[in-house]
Amino acid sequence: MHIVTFPEARTPPALRGQVRRLQTEAWPEPEPAPGPVHDPALSPLSVLLVDDGRVLAALDVLAKEITHRGHRYAAGGLSTVVTDPAVRHRGHGRHLVTEARRMMAELPFDLALFTCDRPLRGFYESAGWQVLAGTVLVGGTPADPFPSDAPGFDKVTLAGFFSPAARRAQATFAGARVGLYPGVIDRLW
């Protein structure tokens, strides 16, 4: 069992097909679009836990620069985190999410921000992610915002602060509305 990474568009077709199947099972679509799932402008990086050619768990790391309280940060976030239902509850997802956090800390990210459904909070905390109580990520675009506290959502914001500048600013992210604005494809990563 090992972890492999690829730019999403260059993931080998056999692995990409397995990932798309898992994603479609987790988030059914009437007509899954062929090709990459994410906006190429977000530099999607696919991170896969593979055992003998079989994808056990997968996630994508998305990246963009954000501005928060007048400061610019290289930000990343987890998206489309999924584990094969046949192998759930064996620690594969936690292993992958923990490794993604370690990997992001070593990449040129200042910080990572993303949301999850409230029941998954403990899962992400157990993988080293920190809950930002009261923090709302605002996705979409400035002209068409998509906030994580929209009606019907029950989201928690998670973070990792990697660079010295991000660690110094950590308190400014707690309880804040953070303009993520990843665009119209990945409205909220």
Q: Sketch the domain layout of the chain as residue ranges.
A: 2-179
Hey, which bits of the chain come out as E strands?
A: 2-7, 45-51, 54-68, 71-83, 111-117, 130-131, 136-140, 145-147, 155-161, 177-179
pLDDT of 167 > 80? The answer is yes
| Residues 93, 97: Cα–Cα separation, whole Å | 6
At residue 59, does pLDDT exceed 80?
A: yes
Are 82 and 37 within 8 A, CB to CB? no
Distance between terminal CA atoms of the chain?
27
CB 86 within 8 A of CB 93: no
pLDDT at 35 over 70: no
Is residue 160 classed as helix, strand or coil in its secondary structure?
Answer: strand
Q: Write the pLDDT tens digit of every residue in 5-33.
A: 999 999 999 999 999 999 999 988 777 66
Mean model confidence pLDDT for the chain = 95
Q: What percent of the chain has pLDDT over 90?
A: 93
CATH number, span 2-179: 3.40.630.30
Local confidence band at 45 (pLDDT 50, 70, 90 cut-offs): very high
Q: Tell me, yes or no, if the pTM score tops 0.75.
A: yes
The predicted pLDDT at position 37 comes to: 87
pLDDT of residue 33: 66
Q: Using one digit for the tens of pLDDT, what is the confidence trace for 113-127?
A: 999 999 999 999 999
Q: Which pLDDT does position 36 carry in this prediction? A: 73
**The pLDDT of residue 64 is above 70:** yes
Q: Count helices and strands (H / E) in the chain.
A: 4, 10
- Which residues, at least 6 apart from 137, have a Cβ–Cβ distance to it below 8 Å? 113, 114, 115, 147, 148, 157, 178, 180, 188
Distance CA 71, CA 54 (A): 42
